[in-house]
A = this chain, B = another copy of it.
Amino acid sequence: MRLSIPESEIKSRQSKFFSSLQEKGIDGAILFSVTDIFYLTGFNFRPSERPIAFFIDPRENTHLLIPHLEKEHAEEYAYVQNVHYYPEYPGLRHPMDYLKKSLMDAGFQNKVIGLDIEGYSSPKGYQGSKVRDLIDAQQFISIKGWVEGFRQIKSNNEIELIKESCRWGNLAHRLLHKYSKVGLSEIEISGRATLEATTTMIETLGKEFLPYGEPTHAFYRGQIGQHSYFPHSQTQNLILKKGDNVVSQSESTVWGYRSELERTMFVGEVSKEQEKYYRLVQQAQKIAVDSIKPGQPFSFVEKNVRDFYKENNVEHLTRHHTGHNIGLLNHEAPFFDLGDERVMQPGMVATVEPALYVENIGGFRNSDTILITDDGFEFLTYYPRDLESLIIP
């Protein structure tokens, strides 16, 4: 069972990237984004004060610059031709000075050079020069967002990893549901469900499985009772009470690829008012997915959801757009947003989560991960959505 992207696909990503540089007259490129570097090399870097750089030189050779402590790790896992390393950051000689030498040796001097950002950046105490202070170029061209753009269309292998992630997110969510009881705290419920799902996941997938993230995790993040009114609330150590509505979430990571599953659930009983808002978000999600059509802009989905909410006089209870793409990061562009005119394309994977937030009652949100297909969409997450299935006994 393959649980990673094969070398051949990583190599073809590199070729595609290099061709896109050539089309724009760019001789070589330097990238600092760790997510894009993982995408192009298969090397998963844990950022700290120590910088990383990927570069592809004018002869299409690929390079990584990493700290010495990652040398063996990179040699084993990175699909690149050259691994360069520096002893340490800040070190007696700055890592950017090593980058300078490697770039010179690779023929970057006086060339047309693509850059995702001007230099490595990290909040963890890193300081260093910009690339333009290291070498002379005929021209520096910003290629910010290019690799992010390639990442938007998922390959079959990527879709398989996301589906695998959905499977384990479903188990974690099922266990969260099962272990949720009046009087228990969110952290306890979440911990128990996460541990059991994770253990089952790793025993099922075996030792070839590399999560590159949390294997699986189900949680409430403070979205319990009235506190679920805060859409981005933080874990609060809250206790479940009868009559609460809650918003649950589960995630899973398989070789870096992610999915998202969220449900509104009801502790013990459902009031008429809770039911009213739940039916509205349920219908809104149906309207959203039925609006997914390749060739239409992302804004089309959001407009249809908004129109439905307006008709039902609840538009003032929305707090965020209907969804976002997902992949190696939990939020990626484009967005199901009124202002996003980018076009839906087959192979994109996104969340659909139109929500309502009602003061003194709480939040109502189901989030599913979907695949945009040639003629519409396919649900990748499959936890029940009917109200009766979402009651916590």
Q: With A49-B335, A335-B89 known to touch, is A207 a contact of B237 (CB < 8 Å)?
A: yes
Chain A 212-255 against B: per-residue CB contact (8 Å), 1 yes, 0 no?
Answer: 10010000000000000111111111110000000000000000
In the complex formed, the residue of B with least CB distance to A320 is: B69
Asked if A388 CB lies within 8 Å of chain B CBs, one says no
* B92/A339 in contact, CB under 8 A: yes
* B187/A199 in contact, CB under 8 A: yes
Q: State which of B70, B94, B215 has its C-beta within 8 Å of the C-beta of A232.
A: B70
Contact residues in B for A126 (Cβ distance below 8 Å) = 333
* B199/A233 in contact, CB under 8 A: no
User: Assembly of this chain: how many copies?
Assistant: 2
A229 CB, nearest partner CB in chain B, Å: 7
Q: With A185-B202, A209-B237, A212-B234 known to touch, is A48 a contact of B339 (CB < 8 Å)?
A: no
Contact residues in B for A239 (Cβ distance below 8 Å) = 207
Q: State which of B121, B192, B232 has its C-beta within 8 Å of the C-beta of A69.
A: B232
Complex Cα–Cα for A94 and B337 (A): 12
Chain A interface: which size bin? 35 or more
**10 chain-A/chain-B pairs, Cβ below 8 angstroms:** A68-B320, A89-B337, A90-B337, A123-B329, A124-B330, A125-B332, A126-B333, A195-B195, A202-B237, A211-B235
Residues of A bordering B, CB below 8 Å:
33, 35, 44, 46, 48-49, 67-70, 72-73, 88-94, 117, 121, 123-127, 145, 148, 185, 187-188, 191-192, 194-195, 198-199, 202-203, 205-207, 209-212, 215, 229-239, 319-321, 324-325, 329-335, 337-340
8 smallest beta-carbon distances between A and B, as pairs: A125-B333, A191-B195, A69-B319, A90-B339, A124-B331, A69-B231, A91-B339, A48-B331
Given contacts A89-B337, A185-B203, A191-B198, 5 further A-B contacts (CB under 8 A): A88-B337, A91-B339, A125-B324, A125-B325, A125-B333
